[in-house]
Amino acid sequence: MKQKRAGTAKSDLKSKFNDINELLKMSARSGDFISTKISMPNQPISISYYKTLIDQKLLQQHVIHTLQTRSLDSEYKTLDEIKSWIPIENIEITDKVSRIQSKLLKGFALVRLHENDAAFALINVSSKQGMRTNNDTENEFSVVGPKVGFVEDIDTNIRLLRDQINIPNLIVKEFTIGSISQTKVAVVYIDGVANERYIGIVEQRLSDIDFEVVFDSTQLDQIMSDNSLTPFPLFLSTERRDRVVYALISGQVAIISDGSPYFVTGPSTLFDFFISPEDYYLPWILGSFFRLIRFFGVIFSLFATSMYVAITTYHYEVIPKDLLGPLIFSRQNVPFPPFIEVLFLEITIEFLREAGARLPTKIGQTLGIVGGIVIGQAAVEAALTSNILIIIVASSALASFATPIYKMSNTIRFLRFPIIILSAIWGGLGMFIGIGFLLVHITRLQSLGSPYSVPIAPLRFRDFEDSFIRSSYQFLNKRPSYLRPKTIHRYTPDSVKTSNDFDEE
């Protein structure tokens, strides 16, 4: 009986030892995981940790320096001796794999006395770097939900990710890019979720980059792009942590360069640029309503002024009789054709936008409001433009800001001009020619080899659950099929059960 118990205990110890080694091997695949040995007079001590999660100064002063100093006087025999000597509270000694994994990913250092031991001393040397008041998101603000953004330090950014994705499967692979800058670039993905094809494409394209200085992640976005002759952004750039976390758990790959507060995620689709994290923090009916408002705003911003040019130049017959009188009265003193009138106002709006964006915040806001009112009123009184067009252009400019991602907003601003020109040449026909070219171009685009216009082309009915509308969480338990994730299910939804908390008498 004793031999059987001894054999069982030995088997359990071996099983724990194997599980711990598997955990360390999985963690070692990440470039920010460090496993090192401290040379002691009697025997080496191994220390393992994630460098992006810990305070390096705390580790050096209170752990490594203390161990080396104490080893000169006496020999370490047990982890309890190490625990009593290190001046840090709540040091835990355990051989439970789940506990070791949890603490490792919370910023603890693992100290092991012998290589064959299954027990570790868990020492809290976690860093609070990055969790400060000035790393709020500036360009992707939302009223509801967390407002944690990234900063210009790559280790801090990866720490912020690991705080939310608390599993060893979060893999970080580091590259050095830039013949002059030698910039550190990290590729982040979840092993077992992201498709290996996309991981391989990203790593290959980063390895092939020959560049001098990498200033920002958005430069890598352009260099890695599947098509450099398109105004559409093929990768989503974001400074929000929650957006990157959602992309990673969906099966996408994220790229970040040192010195940049922006992550680049891909493969992306056209719909990704109109989805706001706020959609998931509101009830699904409200989230879907605001998302549809965004899509309508983009369509209005893109085609409102070109439709005005087409109608007032070639198609007066489609104007309702009651509206024709006010329109004629508004334009009767304007000496320019509608095309010149629209072009003048659109370029003026762009001037105001650029000036407001480049000036300090308070001055820029004042310039945008006062400049818009003064120039608009003066243009109408000078008979350079009509009142109706002022309203259309102002509404169009306002609608373009409904896009959550600034890069897509710039694309919409640019696309308005060629469609206006086509409408001025061929009227409604020119407008539809522009729409046709736009649709063909979008359907031909790819992001990391994945179709840009999915789930519309190619058609994926199941992925419509999170495209034009945001469905209930009961139906969002599967990852998007076009990402080809290795595991399709995210969680198992249960039906809501209501219960009466009041006792019936």
SS3 162: helix
Q: What is the mean pLDDT of residues 237-261?
A: 92
Q: Residue 83, Cα to own-chain centre: how many angstroms?
A: 41
Q: Whole-number mean pLDDT of the chain?
A: 84
- Whether the pLDDT of residue 202 is over 90: the answer is yes
| Residue 196 identity (one-letter amino acid) | E
Q: What angle do CA 490, 495, 499 make, to 5 degrees?
A: 135
Q: What is the mean pLDDT of residues 451-480?
A: 89
pLDDT on residue 5? 53
- Whether the pLDDT of residue 7 is over 60: the answer is no
Q: Residue 13, Cα to own-chain centre: how many angstroms?
A: 42
- Label residue 373 by pLDDT band (50, 70, 90): low
pLDDT on residue 425? 94
DSSP category for residue 62: I
The per-residue pLDDT for range 93-145, each reduced to its tens digit, is: 888 888 888 888 888 889 888 776 778 888 888 876 665 456 667 777 777 88
Pairing of strands 92-94, 108-112: unpaired
* Tokens of residue 59, six digits: 């580790």
- Whether the pLDDT of residue 500 is over 60: the answer is no
Q: What is the mean pLDDT of residues 465-486?
A: 89
SS3 361: helix
Extents of the domains making up the chain:
2-124, 154-268, 284-451
- Whether the pLDDT of residue 492 is over 90: the answer is no
Where is average pLDDT lowest: 79-83, 191-195, 432-436?
Answer: 79-83
Strands (E), 299-416: none
- Label residue 364 by pLDDT band (50, 70, 90): low
Report the run of H or E that residue 121 belongs to, with start and end.
strand 120-124
pLDDT on residue 3? 52
Buried b (16+ CB within 10 A) or exposed e, 31-59: bbbbeeeeeeeeeebbbbbbbbbbbeebb
Where is average pLDDT lowest: 156-160, 358-362, 425-429?
Answer: 358-362
The per-residue pLDDT for range 89-107, each reduced to its tens digit, is: 888 888 888 888 888 888 8
pLDDT on residue 363? 64
CA distance linking residue 284 with residue 299, whole number of Å: 23
CA distance linking residue 139 with residue 53, whole number of Å: 26
CA distance linking residue 318 with residue 137, whole number of Å: 46
Structure-model confidence comparison of residues 370 and 250, the more confident one = 250
- Pick the closest to residue 45 from 82, 16, 86, 73 (CA basis): 82
- Whether the pLDDT of residue 70 is over 80: the answer is no
Report the run of H or E that residue 230 belongs to, with start and end.
none
Q: How many CB atoms lie within 10 A of CB 3?
A: 7
Q: What is the mean pLDDT of residues 45-50?
A: 88
Cα–Cα distances in angstroms (integers) from residue 21 to residues 113, 186, 493, in the given order? 15, 25, 34
pLDDT on residue 505? 45
pTM (2 d.p.): 0.85
**Cα first-last separation, the chain:** 58
Contact 181, 41 (CB under 8 A): no
Q: What is the mean pLDDT of residues 403-421?
A: 91
Structure-model confidence comparison of residues 14 and 385, the more confident one = 385
Structure-model confidence comparison of residues 407 and 43, the more confident one = 407
* Tokens of residue 349, six digits: 């709006």
Q: What is the mean pLDDT of residues 224-235?
A: 91
pLDDT on residue 325? 83
pLDDT on residue 179? 86
Report the run of H or E that residue 385 belongs to, with start and end.
none
Percent of all residues in the chain with a pLDDT value above 90, rounded to a whole number: 30
- Whether the pLDDT of residue 39 is over 60: the answer is yes
- Label residue 485 by pLDDT band (50, 70, 90): very high
From the number of C-beta atoms within 10 Å of its C-beta (0-12, 13-18, 19+), residue 240 rates as buried
Q: What is the mean pLDDT of residues 401-417?
A: 89
- Whether the pLDDT of residue 343 is over 70: the answer is yes
- Whether the pLDDT of residue 221 is over 80: the answer is yes
The per-residue pLDDT for range 320-329, each reduced to its tens digit, is: 888 888 888 8
Q: What is the mean pLDDT of residues 276-303?
A: 92
From the number of C-beta atoms within 10 Å of its C-beta (0-12, 13-18, 19+), residue 394 rates as middle
Helix boundaries (H) for 192-283: 196-207, 217-224, 241-250
SS3 236: strand
DSSP category for residue 466: B
Percent of all residues in the chain with a pLDDT value above 70, rounded to a whole number: 88
CA distance linking residue 306 with residue 75, whole number of Å: 82
